[in-house]
Structure 1
Amino acid sequence: MKFCIKSESGGRMRIHAVQKRMTYEQADILEYTLQKFGGVASVKVYDRTCDAVIYYTCSRNCMIEFLRGFSYAGVDVPDTVVANSGRAMNAEYQEQLVGKIMYHYARKWLLPAPLRACYTIASSLKFIAEGIKCLWNRKIEVPVLDATAIGVSIVRGDFDTAGSVMFLLGIGELLEEWTHKKSVGNLARSMSLNIGKVWLANSGTEVLADADTIQQGDRIVIHMGNVIPFDSVVVSGDGMVNQASLTGEAVPVHRKEGDSVYAGTVLEEGELTVRVTTVGRGSRYEKVVAMIEESEKLKSGLEGKAEHLADRLVPWTLGGTALTWLLTRNVTKALSVLMVDFSCALKMAMPISVLYAIHEAGTHDLTVKGGKYLEAVADADTIVFDKTGTLTKAKPTVVDVVPFIDETPDNLLRLAACLEEHFPHSMAKAVINAAQAKGLEHEEMHTKVEYVVAHGISSSVDGKKVVIGSYHFVFEDEQCVVPEGKEELFAKLPEEYSHLYMAIENKLAAVICIQDPVRREAADVIAALHKAGFSHIVMMTGDSERTARAIAAKVGVDEYYAEVLPEDKAKFVEERRKAGHKVIMIGDGINDSPALSAADAGIAISDGAEIAREIADITVSGDDLAQIVTLRNISSALMKRIHWNYKKIVGINSALIGLGVLGVIQPATSALLHNTSTILISLNSMKKLLDD
């Protein structure tokens, strides 16, 4: 593939692909490939000009070498990248917008007046029919207002005014539809599945396989806490499936042999073996789009108020028109009131503001599942952090394996990894990564694995019961003991590390010491959140009092709770809400799911447990906690924009009504200024909320 550099400056390069025409598919492939390259910070590909603007962090030579080696055929791109990119849709709407504008002015300038009048009358029938239909349903809403304004103008013979009103209404509808579909598409893409590995059932064993290799009819095993990657039918097992990502209902449903399960839902309890019926990931995207468009989740409280206020204002506008005519007996002045309504701007600007805020959040790697959650983040005064994987690093590391039986540390680590790899949690990942780093491969040595939420794992190896988990689980729930003569070794375990305990046949076999350092940015983020208006910041953890106290002191939270269970976190959130507080919960594990559901807005760390991401209302990248501050700033800026839009809409339209009643402006001018201001306010709502 051949490129030429059109312009460049420090860290920025504009390149041109030497080809006659770039298809949408080729543009998507090029953009996807560049985004995946580690040395690129951001990229934008322009298919019309065959150009790409690249912001890179690697060396210039490295960037050039990468481009030299690029070819469309040599890239393995997921089907959904091209199928659901939105590039073709954007081009379609751009063409519609340009075509509508050109057609309107060509008709206005080239058609004779009689033909123009006939066309305007024919076009008005749609609007008048919608108004009559609305009245027939005993409603006085925006269609009635539009039909009246257009109808009165035609009756008066003012075809230019009627045509201008319909043109501006058409432009507004097109912009609103385009913005809505674009924002919904961006949100759906970010919510679509990104599952790399699944457990394939193969001759009575489970084999970790690439999701892309799974075929229709294959059997895969779904463990508790994992996302179901494909539409499937249950062939064995029993479990409770959370379908909130598709239906909006957070109450899990019971699934057993013969029942259907769907891609993107989450197994909350139990274990299922399923037969795959649909492999394509596109089905998940389509379902998410449908869910977003139909769900009331998308609407914030202020959006709902705007829509209700808009419809309630229509009778007042009609009444004001009638009153103006009665007082002045001047049809022109009365029509000036009719041409201006508050409802159009309210209904258009508010949803666009929210959808663009969701889109902007997406550019910061923040996935927001609905406008009301941005409103909740803006209003919240309490924020609750889980500790492990949230305030501490998302990738804790194993620093030591202390044996308590006659077995090597490596063999004990191999056994621990064999058990832990079935369940997603940052501590489990630490054990798995440590085993992989030492090349400790293993066959499946155990029988069925049982996961006890927030406690640990229980299984059987060579007929012996093996448990691994917290101190509470191993020593209190399972009644395990320290082997004789090992009490001193147990007492001298290093306190600076978190401990994972493994016991065989009720005797402690090993303690895995895990370093779980505080994120470097954690203290600064907590300080910034205080500054952003959070009055109460809490840390909750299942870890020991000693560890929790040390972490809390380092990061500067207002309050902390140690050795808590999942129900304790959820209970705390519910009690704060009952006391009148708006609460945000941030977590990454299965044990955080109840609290995430209970909060006004639940925020999950993207590289945490799949069930946490699916249940949460917002997902943030695991790279930098500062994104939570960015989320708060976007939410607050959105609320300011919405309130400011209210003021502008009321102020501009009130002024236009006043000028019309006084006879300063004509109805056509009034309609033009009203619709133009509505479009300008809506376009302004598409501007970035945060400065770079």
Structure 2
Amino acid sequence: MSGYRTVASPAGRRRRVQVVHETPKRLRLRTSALSDPSLDTGFLEGMLEAVPGVVNARVNPAASCVTVRHDGGEAVRARVLAMVEDIPGEAFLPGHGRARPLALPTVVGQGLAAAATPFLPSSVAAPLGLALGLPTIAQGMGTLLSEGVKVEVLDAAAVGASLLRGDTFTASAIVAMLGLGNWLEQWTTQKSDQLLKDLLRPQVESVWVERDAHEERISFADLRIGDVIICGAGELIPVDGVVVDGEAAVNRSSITGESLPVHAELGTEVLSGSLVEDGRLKIAASTVGSETSMARTRRFLQNSLRSKSASQKHSDELADRLVPVTLALGLGLFVLTRDVRRASAVLTVDYSCALKLAAPVAVKSGMHAAGHRGVLLKGGQALDNLAAIDTLVFDKTGTLTRGDLRVTDVLPLDPALTGPELLALAAGAEEHYSHPVARAVVAEAKARGLALPPISQVDFIVAHGVSAFVDGDRVLVGSRHFLEDDEGVDCAAADTPGKLLRGEGKSLLCVARAGRLAGLIALRDEPRPEAAEALQKLRARGITRIVVLTGDHRETALAVLKGFDVDEIRWELKPEDKADIVRELQSQGRKLAFAGDGVNDAPALLTADVGVCMPGGADLARESAQVVLLEDNLLALVTARDIAARTRRVLTNSFRTAVGVNSAVMLLAAAGRLSPVTSAILHNACTLGILGYAALSGGSATGAKAHTGEPQPQA
């Protein structure tokens, strides 16, 4: 079955899409856009594979085709067609370029032809060798004219020199090994990309929901916030939400790396992508579609597939600089010895393949390992930077502490108010404010069954407090600094009780009515149980300085962080102070990571060498950070550091091996000890060995138990 559809491209041109072939679960499409040199085919494949119901997608630029295997659903087919008809602009990168994929039958044919050459008469072998070698020579000449001296020029010189001296077997053998090496390198790179793409692919197309007391199956795309989703044993949870009925054992290993399932019951928050192992749950959806945790993870990883780290760029630059050295050595050797064979043997060795390909393969393996252990790394640069940091800066609330504030004391200072009245007054003013302090006050008032007074003219002052009118009186709720310094309220009555409460590690909220201090509300945020252990293990991994930032009063901060291994605590800070402190530490030559989770943390997350966001972080914080922890556990940061350090060791070892082995092969070739064929075999074997090592570098980390805190073994 085939046909044509004509659509308008984003640039306004009419574009025709042909359905070349179709079966119930396979679709092959052709459009000229797929042969565009600037199209990032891997990125487009990732986008297509992220469509619910798509099994895999493969783009063939040479044929201007894409083949998509799917589950047979008509909605899936329609979405695939729509995406190919109107390929998003982000899939195109000007100057991206790409190597034309080499088909396995071509590689096999080159190998058979080279093997047959010694047994053929010269009248057949010579034309055959020329036919095999001409594409390599043409590619090398084209590269020389358009890009300068690159590895393709070396390959062309080696093949051309062999043909000039009449050695068709050597020329054919070099072409065959180049083809095999390129195909294996291509295959290894695709496999490393696939590691990450496997994390992108959703596995839910339709879901069961409860509507009007009836269960019905609807499309995943039709889910709405507030829908009650039903998940039974063996099913994936498709949304972020809260359990409203049922109990189950939930496996979150694909999201957080936890090896054991957790018990979910009424009130438990669950994440999309988790698996119900046993039991049955009804879940009220809080986020759906592209806003779920799994969807965000897919989006971050999709973008990371195309990014390069500084170490990758350095490897590329070094490899390019070494190509002219190899060419000069080969030509110089020929001038001195007039030995074409010896010069050809030198020209078959280059550093480019191993240096350029090992880095992205190792980085993607590391990112894959991190993703399976509860850490989302947004690209290779995050790995690079995380391995290099020596300083950690924490925003206290929500990172070293749980961020789950609870009201502990309600202390009226106005004789006309009781404790419940003071709490109701504060909760009424704070009811529509989304700050954690406000949520804690409102939750406590509701838990006590208090009726909240009607309010009007509410004004939220970011990072300071709330102003509202209750029964004609202006009510202020916020920090002492806000009431006393900004609004002129006398807070002297809070001195003695405030000092006692802060000494217990409690934060204070001041409440004023009609210009007079009405009372204090104390809240406490408990330290994370694993925080002290995480800091200790980060110290063992090379972190030399740990700084904690907080807006709390000095006594509160010291009490909460008592026993923590930190070098410095800075208190009573405004949100805008955090980025300034990060810059101050960086000016001292420190490489640092900043960990936070709030909207106000975004400037510091962007300023730091590595921004780390906790799993419950605000959208802006998650977008700003380079590292997102997927599990609410600081030991995941230890895991991230281990994987980053391991990836750095793999890159270092790969670099040293590539330079060492290839240099030895080149010297032996220059000394006349190796033939061109042997030299090519050794060079390609070294390259493939390094690629295999880089590809497997993340495997042991993936299989290890998450968050053990044990340092990773040396690579």
Q: Which runs of 5+ in 1 are unaligned?
A: 1-22, 25-78, 191-209, 216-277
Alignment of 1:375-386 (within 5 A): 375-386=384-395
Distance (whole Å) between structure 1 residues aligned to residue 685 and residue 54 of structure 2: 28
The structure 2 residue matched to 1:587, chosen from 596, 601, 606, is: 596
In structure 2, what is the equivalent of residue 450 of structure 1?
A: 460
Encode CA deviations 1:52-95: one digit per residue, 9 max, x unaligned. xxxxxxxxxxxxxxxxxxxxxxxxxxx9996279952599999x
In structure 2, what is the equivalent of residue 390 of structure 1?
A: 399
Distance (whole Å) between structure 2 residues aligned to residue 309 and residue 214 of structure 1: 51
The structure 2 residue matched to 1:669, chosen from 655, 674, 678, is: 678
Q: Which runs of 5+ in 2 are unaligned?
A: 1-24, 27-46, 60-66, 70-100, 203-220, 227-287, 706-715
In structure 2, what is the equivalent of residue 575 of structure 1?
A: 584
In structure 2, what is the equivalent of residue 83 of structure 1?
A: 51
1:490: Cα distance to partner?
Answer: 6.5
TM-score in terms of structure 2 length: 0.64
Distance (whole Å) between structure 1 residues aligned to residue 106 and residue 225 of structure 2: 50
Q: Is the 8 A contact 1:185 1:289 kept in 2?
A: no
Encode CA deviations 1:508-545: one digit per residue, 9 max, x unaligned. 45533222122222222222222222222111211111
In structure 1, what is the equivalent of residue 627 of structure 2?
A: 618
Partner SS, residue 143 of structure 1: helix
Q: Is the 8 A contact 1:341 1:653 kept in 2?
A: yes
Q: Is the 8 A contact 2:309 2:380 kept in 1?
A: yes
1:624: Cα distance to partner?
Answer: 1.6
Q: What letter corresponds to residue 609 of structure 1 in structure 2?
A: A
Encode CA deviations 1:571-596: one digit per residue, 9 max, x unaligned. 22212211212122112223333322
Q: Is the 8 A contact 2:362 2:647 kept in 1?
A: yes
Q: What letter corresponds to residue 571 of structure 2 in structure 1?
A: A
Q: Is the 8 A contact 1:585 1:599 kept in 2?
A: yes
Alignment of 1:35-74 (within 5 A): none
Distance (whole Å) between structure 1 residues aligned to residue 53 and residue 465 of structure 2: 41
Encode CA deviations 1:618-652: one digit per residue, 9 max, x unaligned. 12245221222222222222222211111110111
1:670: Cα distance to partner?
Answer: 2.1
Distance (whole Å) between structure 2 residues aligned to residue 376 and residue 608 of structure 1: 21
Encode CA deviations 1:237-263: one digit per residue, 9 max, x unaligned. xxxxxxxxxxxxxxxxxxxxxxxxxxx
Distance 1:133 1:285, change over 3 A: farther
In structure 2, what is the equivalent of residue 167 of structure 1?
A: 180
1:306: Cα distance to partner?
Answer: 0.7
Partner SS, residue 340 of structure 1: coil
Partner SS, residue 501 of structure 1: strand
The structure 2 residue matched to 1:213, chosen from 197, 200, 224, is: 224
Q: Is the 8 A contact 1:84 1:189 kept in 2?
A: yes
Distance 1:500 1:598, change over 3 A: same
Distance (whole Å) between structure 2 residues aligned to residue 93 and residue 80 of structure 1: 8
Q: Is the 8 A contact 2:361 2:694 kept in 1?
A: yes
Q: Is the 8 A contact 1:539 1:552 kept in 2?
A: no
Worse overlay, 457-466 or 555-564? 457-466
In structure 1, what is the equivalent of residue 488 of structure 2?
A: 479
Partner SS, residue 512 of structure 2: strand
Partner SS, residue 562 of structure 2: helix
In structure 2, what is the equivalent of residue 60 of structure 1?
A: none
Alignment of 1:510-549 (within 5 A): 511-549=520-558
Partner SS, residue 514 of structure 1: strand
1:105: Cα distance to partner?
Answer: 3.7
In structure 2, what is the equivalent of residue 639 of structure 1?
A: 648
Q: What letter corresponds to residue 397 of structure 2 in structure 1?
A: T
Distance 1:587 1:402, change over 3 A: same
Worse overlay, 376-385 or 109-118? 109-118
Q: Is the 8 A contact 2:358 2:654 kept in 1?
A: yes
Distance 1:128 1:492, change over 3 A: same
Distance (whole Å) between structure 2 residues aligned to residue 443 and residue 152 of structure 1: 92
1:154: Cα distance to partner?
Answer: 5.5
Percentage of identical aligned residues: 33
In structure 1, what is the equivalent of residue 91 of structure 2?
A: none
Q: 1:314 aligned to 2:327?
A: no
Partner SS, residue 655 of structure 2: helix
Q: 1:660 aligned to 2:669?
A: yes
In structure 1, what is the equivalent of residue 278 of structure 2?
A: none
Distance 1:664 1:585, change over 3 A: same
Q: Is the 8 A contact 1:395 1:429 kept in 2?
A: no
Worse overlay, 666-675 or 573-582? 666-675
The structure 1 residue matched to 2:168, chosen from 157, 160, 171, is: 157
Partner SS, residue 140 of structure 1: coil
Distance (whole Å) between structure 2 residues aligned to residue 84 and residue 125 of structure 1: 45
Q: 1:559 aligned to 2:568?
A: yes
Worse overlay, 602-611 or 640-649? 602-611
Q: 1:628 aligned to 2:637?
A: yes
Distance (whole Å) between structure 2 residues aligned to residue 377 and residue 280 of structure 1: 28
Partner SS, residue 542 of structure 2: coil
Q: 1:299 aligned to 2:308?
A: yes
Distance (whole Å) between structure 2 residues aligned to residue 284 and residue 626 of structure 1: 22
Distance 1:112 1:463, change over 3 A: farther
Q: State how many pairs are aligned.
A: 527
Distance (whole Å) between structure 2 residues aligned to residue 416 and residue 157 of structure 1: 90
TM-score in terms of structure 1 length: 0.65
Q: Is the 8 A contact 2:502 2:553 kept in 1?
A: no
Alignment of 1:435-514 (within 5 A): 446-447=456-457, 449-452=459-462, 454-460=463-469, 464-481=473-490, 493=501, 495-496=503-504, 497-509=506-518, 511-514=520-523
Distance (whole Å) between structure 2 residues aligned to residue 93 and residue 341 of structure 1: 37
Distance 1:490 1:320, change over 3 A: closer
Partner SS, residue 574 of structure 1: helix
Partner SS, residue 624 of structure 1: coil
Encode CA deviations 1:239-290: one digit per residue, 9 max, x unaligned. xxxxxxxxxxxxxxxxxxxxxxxxxxxxxxxxxxxxxxx9966998997577
Note the aligned Cα RMSD (angstroms): 4.4
